[in-house]
């Protein structure tokens, strides 16, 4: 598998124009000029070059709602290239093949004890990617790169920070090994951060440039989009909401601190609480089944988790001033049951926000479900190979 080499050879301004079009569906040349700061004449010349290169297409005339002069809408050419996204979960892998705009083309799921089998997991990622490309859906020579979503802080796009949720992966050079296996540039990202990227561009946060994404899984992850940029912080660890202390004398967290948010609202914490009555049969599925059936204990458990989450989010929202909080992960997999958690979070957030904060923050359920992190990994690959969707810092 090799890349075409066209994307990295684009000029800086050409990359900026391509990124602006990808980030703003059906935008006009004037929209691109405003987004990039380039002159309209420069944008027109660059757009013509990108169309000739097969990277952009004209989608037709867009008539202004205000009766102004119509403009021609632009889009990324479907055949311009493709991306691979991989999400390393605890009990399995998800590998997706997407177009440059993140449109899902194909995927494979694999049940695997990922925590304890890094070598087997890496083998499966490589073989799954090869199988997707062998189906002939896309030209394998036009795969621009691969992204990998992992349950750990990612320090420099290659190294995992601490504390990783993947138990036996310490010291494993995931990016280096997969780059050699796939023959593609491979880039790592934190799974919650990449979930934020996907929901921002493809899901519930589309069109909102200031949002917080929360992933309720085995831990509690979070990603931030601020001012139309995915924000990872100076060391790559921004958004570690799960390790925000919320109870001074609470349980010991896997990070070594006491009373972290994830000890109360992660699926592990809720399943452990449910085990008091269900014993070994306790699981997230059992919790959601009980809640759907109207069980008072299960409903109370989800409501309590929502209230703790909403209170914790008040500090985040006061500092970052988002328009939207998107909540995803296993605990929001079913709309009816997640409504209990989200409604409790909404009330708690509103009650905990100080008077000077933005009280118009909305909390919504994520739209992409279990695919969010893999799709975000594919989008990450696009940003890192010069076909960028949006800047990342």
pLDDT tens per residue across span 70-103: 788 888 887 778 999 999 987 789 999 998 888 8
Averaged pLDDT for residues 346-367: 95
Are residues 224 and 305 located together in one domain of the fold?
yes
Q: Domain boundary residue among 52, 79, 106?
A: 79
Residue 391 lies in a domain: no
Provide the mean pLDDT of the chain. Answer: 87
What is the number of other CB atoms lying within 10 angstroms of the CB of residue 332? Answer: 22
The predicted model gives 201-230 an average pLDDT of 92
Residue 242 CA to residue 254 CA, distance in Å, equals: 11
* Same domain assignment for residues 168 and 303: no
Give residue 55's pLDDT band: very low, low, confident or very high (50, 70, 90): confident
Q: Are residues 30 and 136 in the same domain?
A: no
CATH number at residue 148: 3.30.420.40
Q: How confident is the model at residue 207 (pLDDT cuts 50, 70, 90)?
A: confident
pLDDT (0 to 100) of residue 362: 97
Q: Are residues 222 and 334 in the same domain?
A: yes
Domain boundary among 61, 79, 97: 79
Same domain, 179 and 284: no
Question: Between 191-202 and 372-384, two packed helices, what is the crossing angle to 10 degrees?
Answer: 90
Q: 190 and 225: one domain?
A: no
pLDDT, mean of residues 201-220: 92
Same domain, 269 and 337: yes
What confidence category does residue 117 fall into, taking pLDDT thresholds of 50, 70 and 90?
A: confident
In this prediction, residue 169 carries a pLDDT of 82
Which residues, 6 or more positions from 20, have their beta carbon under 8 angstroms from its beta carbon? 27, 31, 32, 35, 36
Q: Among the three residues 79, 101, 126, which one is the final residue of a domain in this structure?
A: 79
Specify the pLDDT at position 389.
Answer: 39
Q: What's the pLDDT score for residue 2?
A: 45
More confident of the two residues 312 and 335: 312
Average pLDDT estimate for 27-51: 92
Q: What local confidence, expressed as pLDDT, does residue 42 receive? A: 94
Please indicate, yes or no, whether residues 167 and 212 belong to a single structural domain of this protein.
Answer: no
Q: What is the pLDDT of residues 255-292, one digit of tens each?
A: 889 999 999 999 999 999 999 889 888 999 999 999 99
189 in the same domain as 212: no
Give the model's pLDDT for residue 5. Answer: 42
Q: Is the pLDDT of residue 9 over 80?
A: no
Residue 176 falls inside a structural domain: yes
Q: What confidence score (pLDDT) does residue 101 get?
A: 80
Question: What's the rounded Cα separation, in Å, for the pair 17 and 339?
Answer: 40
Minimum mean pLDDT among 50-64, 126-140, 229-243: which range?
50-64
Tell me if 321 is assigned to some domain.
yes
Residue 124 in any domain: the answer is: yes
Name the pLDDT band for 163 (thresholds 50, 70, 90): low
Q: Are residues 48 and 176 in the same domain?
A: no
pLDDT at 3: 42
| Claim to verify: residue 211 and residue 135 sit in the same structural domain | no
How many C-beta atoms lie closer than 10 Å to residue 255's C-beta? 15
Q: What token pair was written down for 265?
A: 């609202």
**Residue 261 in domain:** yes
Domain count along the chain: 3
Residue 46: alpha-carbon gap to chain centroid: 30
- Range of the structural domain that residue 280 is part of: 206-367
Cα pseudo-dihedral 76, 125, 329, 292, rounded to 10: 110
């Amino acid at each position: 598998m090799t890349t075409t080499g066209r994307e990295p050879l684009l000029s800086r301004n050409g990359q900026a124009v391509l990124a602006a079009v990808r980030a703003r569906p059906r935008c006009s040349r004037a929209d691109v000029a405003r987004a990039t700061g380039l002159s309209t004449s420069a944008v027109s010349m660059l757009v013509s070059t990108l169309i000739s290169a097969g990277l952009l297409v004209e989608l037709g005339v867009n008539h202004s709602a205000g009766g102004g002069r119509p403009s021609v809408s632009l889009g990324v050419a479907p055949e311009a290239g493709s991306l691979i996204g991989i999400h390393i979960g605890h009990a399995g892998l998800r590998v997706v093949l997407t177009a440059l705009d993140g449109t899902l083309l194909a995927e494979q799921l694999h049940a695997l004890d990922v925590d304890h089998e890094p070598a087997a997991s890496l083998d499966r990622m490589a073989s799954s990617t090869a199988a997707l490309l062998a189906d002939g859906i896309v030209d394998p020579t036009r795969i621009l790169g691969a992204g990998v979503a992992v349950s750990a802080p990612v320090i420099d796009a290659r190294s995992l920070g601490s504390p990783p949720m993947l138990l036996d992966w310490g010291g494993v050079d995931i990016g280096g090994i997969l780059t050699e296996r796939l023959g593609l540039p491979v880039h790592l990202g934190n799974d919650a951060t990449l979930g934020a990227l996907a929901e921002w561009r493809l899901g519930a946060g589309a069109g909102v440039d200031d949002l917080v994404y929360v992933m309720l899984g085995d831990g509690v992850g979070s990603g931030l989009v601020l001012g139309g940029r995915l924000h990872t912080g100076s060391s790559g660890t921004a958004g570690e909401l799960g390790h925000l202390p919320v109870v001074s004398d609470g349980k010991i967290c896997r990070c070594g601190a006491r009373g972290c948010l994830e000890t109360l609202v992660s699926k592990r914490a809720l399943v452990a609480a449910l085990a008091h009555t269900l014993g070994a049969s306790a699981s997230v599925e059992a919790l959601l089944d009980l809640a759907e059936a109207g069980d008072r204990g299960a409903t109370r458990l989800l409501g309590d988790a929502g209230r703790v989450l909403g209170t914790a989010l008040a500090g985040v929202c006061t500092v970052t001033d988002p328009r939207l909080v998107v909540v995803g992960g296993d605990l929001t997999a079913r709309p009816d049951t997640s409504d209990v958690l989200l409604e409790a979070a909404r009330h708690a957030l509103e009650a905990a926000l100080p008077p000077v904060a933005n009280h118009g923050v909305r909390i919504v359920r994520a739209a992409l479900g279990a695919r969010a992190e893999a799709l975000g990994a594919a989008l990450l690959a696009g940003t890192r190979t010069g076909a960028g969707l949006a800047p990342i810092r």
